[in-house]
Structure 1
Amino acid sequence: MFPENIGYRLAEQAVTVHQPTPITHIPAAPLLPVQPATAPAVTSIVLPDGRVITGYAIEHARPEPVTAKPLVSRTAVNIALGGIGFGAVCGGLVLLTTFIAALAALVQQLIILAAVIFGGWIAVQVLTATNQRGATTVNIRKAVIKRNHFHG
């Protein structure tokens, strides 16, 4: 499409005119009796062409009273308290890990002590059992040794 043809194409299109449709009057719903204290005030305005517009008065929204902001935000206070709590817990965690390491060392030493005692007991049992099989027991009650000679 060339620019010189734009005006020609616009002239070819049909122009449609839309007429506004009049608003039909709808009868109002019956009013229910309302206490005078709860009903808002009705306001009527007469326009320069003679029409009257009636409606309720709109009260402007009142802004909320401004509260004084604290010098330090709550988020900053929460972060600071969290850091203090974390620091307090870290010391306890270091002590806890030290206690666990000491307890593990104690249990290890008790196991080694039990193994040494039990192993010693087993060794005594084995060695005494082997000596009794091939040995002879001699009971000496009264012995007299005269001139390098034993008299029993």
Structure 2
Amino acid sequence: MSSENTAHRLTEQAVTIHQPTPLAPYSAGPVVPVQPAGMPSVTSIVLPDGRVITGYAIDHNRPEPLAAKPLVSRTAVNIALGGIGFAAVCGGLVLLTTFIAALAALVQQLIILAAVIFGGWIAVQVLTAGQSKGGTTVNIRKAVFKRNHFQG
């Protein structure tokens, strides 16, 4: 009975059949043996007794060459360039302070010149006060000063 049940179940279930899809025909061209990139070539050696040994030639690992060090380190070059720049700035600062000192001396000379000219103009005004040119003349010599107060 169990075999009948199994056969009955197989007939009731849907059976799906898969068919392979055919591939497109391949046109074979001439085959040229090509050595793959990175693979060493095959080498054969004949020993003195006549045996032939065939195998790959092995390249021994060679250490990479060390990079050549520059004669002068980059830090030393930077320090030297910084020193040159600092010297240039110091020279400019010396010139700047010299310029400021010269400008201060010029301003001082102009102030003294203005005082001399203005003082001379006042002196001329006072000393020529006696010569009347049609204006009001004030004789200061007759004024009386008592306790720093002018009484005219």
TM-score by length of 2: 0.40
TM-score by length of 1: 0.40
